[in-house]
Amino acid sequence: MAEGAMSDVLLRPGVTALPRDPDWWRGAVIYQIYPRSFQDTDANGIGDLAGIAERLPHVARLGADAVWICPFFHSPMKDFGYDVSNYCDVDPMFGTLADFDRVVAVAHGLGLRVMIDLVLSHTSDQHPWFQESRRSRDNPKADWYVWADPKPDGTPPNNWLSVFGGSAWAWHPGREQYYLHNFLASQPDLNLHCPEVQEALLDVVRFWLQRGVDGFRLDTINFYFADKYLRDNPSLPKELRNDSIAPSVNPYNHQLHLFSKNQPENLDFLRRLRAEMEPYGAAAVGEVGDAQRGLEIMAEYTSGGDKVQMCYPFELLQPARATARLLCSTFERLGRAAPDAWPCWSYSNHDTVRHPTRWRLSPAAVKAYATLLMCLRGSVCLYQGEELGLPEADLAYEDLQDPYGIAFWPEFKGRDGARTPMVWEAGSLNGGFSVARPWLPVPQAHLPLAVDAQENDEESVLNHYRKAIAWRRRHPALRIGVQSPMISAGDLVEFVRIGGGEQVFVAANLGEGRAPLVLPDGDWQETGEGLGIPVAPGMREATLGPWELCLMVRPA
């Protein structure tokens, strides 16, 4: 049976799939949608699946290849959908399974693939699996979660800490044991050492594949397994601490998380997961949450062609700006760890301060980084509103919804500032997001940046993103090609992409000064359609102004 026919047989009746391309993900631009904040259609102030279907033409016009939709499953919403109580149904807040099917149909009709966010490391404490597991030590699901006896003095079994602060262990009086929670206490960790748990999670994967999804974003992919011996994590010297995963005020940063995550058993589970996706031509991108070994773990998880296709580490999501020097060191480390690993780069997402604010970028700098992102080897994730240049929202304490921000206020304001509603219409109530009061306020500063306000301005951030993405699409070297070692000098970074019968030279000035540039020898032609400086034939030297790029192409 042909591969395409196999996919048709496996899909539910009535599901229309895009043409099968097992490599569609390589070099793809993936647009992240946070459902609560994308578009509200039922006037309750919360975005929904019907709203996603309505606004997908915007994503298609942007030039994206796929959408990644954050969790919309049944959930008590204590962590806004990342605490799942039913993996195989839609929370009524967002609509129905029929609404999801409509999203898939509309997306496929626009040529967009659909990836959904699967949270496989933990569930809600309201999930029926946990409800049964906590009843006793000998029920059929007793070992579906990570349970452990206390130490003789009654304290937790080891020193592991939660990403959200405090001990990673919560006491359950019914079992007289602790259960592990790497995040909120209401998010107990599954025990993937149990074969039945792995099979149940793979059943979830099959359910959504048969419903027509084209892939998955895998939340906290390196948290799936904990050390079966529950050994203590070692301390981390202060000079090695990194606040890219947790804010500096969180004691989570005081440990090297050697045993609470990143376990070798995860590789075999990822191989099983890849085998389930293969017949559908589906792909996965994993979130590697590790401040010390993110690139190395990404390399382990994506190399060899038998695990997940992509991972994104946190190197470009850190508080520190992606300088020329940082980019060089990042790609050097990645090359050492595994040359064939495939990253998925992003500057912003629903868990981080939006990068124009985090890096204190001017509009010109935002455009420069957008163009550079389209030149890097790997795939790309764009977060909704990034294409508008939205800054981080500065919310009052009384407006916060995120338990993370509430716990660490005011030193850390949480993630709500990146999760405010999308702004579609500058002159409409709540930016066109909803006719009701939104679940988070729409900042007044965002309204002039709405889609309709930027639509007809050729110099807008929105139209710059469209041009940069279109340019990437036109050049196979940028989507699938190899990348030469990066070279940096001050704020200047340069490299060459090679593939698809062409070479693309990229130089970027990531600073406010002027940067002299020696142009490469050879018959290069200016490219980029306005994304880079003009280069006359025969030029051998140029000067890049603040936040300018030089982009040239020639046959390979």
**Active site amino acids:** 219, 287
User: Is residue 266 within a helix (H) or strand (E), and if so which, with residue range?
Assistant: helix 266-277
Q: How far apart, in whole angstroms, are the C-alpha atoms of residue 388 and residue 411?
A: 28
Cα–Cα distance measured from residue 326 to residue 309, given in angstroms and rounded to the nearest whole number: 25
470: which residues sit within 8 A by CB, 6+ positions away?
Answer: 63
Give the number of other Cβ atoms within 10 Å of residue 541's Cβ: 8
174 residue type, one letter: G
Helix axes 363-373, 461-474, angle to 10 degrees: 20
- Sheet order of strands, 310-312 included: 310-312, 283-287, 215-218, 113-118, 66-69, 29-33, 379-383, 344-345
Q: Are 246 and 252 in contact (CB under 8 A)?
A: yes
SS3 content of the chain, % helix, strand, coil (to 5): 30, 20, 50
Record the tokens describing residue 398, joined without a space. Answer: 């009384």
Residue 362's identity, in one-letter code, is S
**CA atoms of 381 and 379, how far apart (whole Å):** 7
Q: Tokens 């470009």 appear where?
A: 316
C-alpha separations of 281 from 215, 216, 304, 308 in Å: 8, 12, 17, 12
Instruction: Give 239's contacts (C-beta < 8 A, 6+ positions apart).
Output: none
Distances (CA, A) of 93 to 16, 46, 48, 423, 442: 26, 8, 7, 21, 20
Q: Are 183 and 163 in contact (CB under 8 A)?
A: yes
Q: How large is the angle between the packed helices 97-109 and 49-62, nearest 10 degrees?
A: 10
Tokens 């040359």 belong to which residue?
339
The residue length of the chain stands at 556
Residues contacting 20, CB < 8 A, separation 6+ = 3, 4, 7, 280, 281
Q: What's the burial of 414, exposed, middle or buried (CB within 10 Å: 0-12/13-18/19+)?
A: buried
Name the token pair of 368.
Answer: 């420069």
* Type of residue numbered 187: Q
Nearest CA to 418 out of 541, 518, 334, 317 is that of 317
What is the distance between the alpha carbons of residues 293 and 119, in angstroms, rounded to a whole number?
21
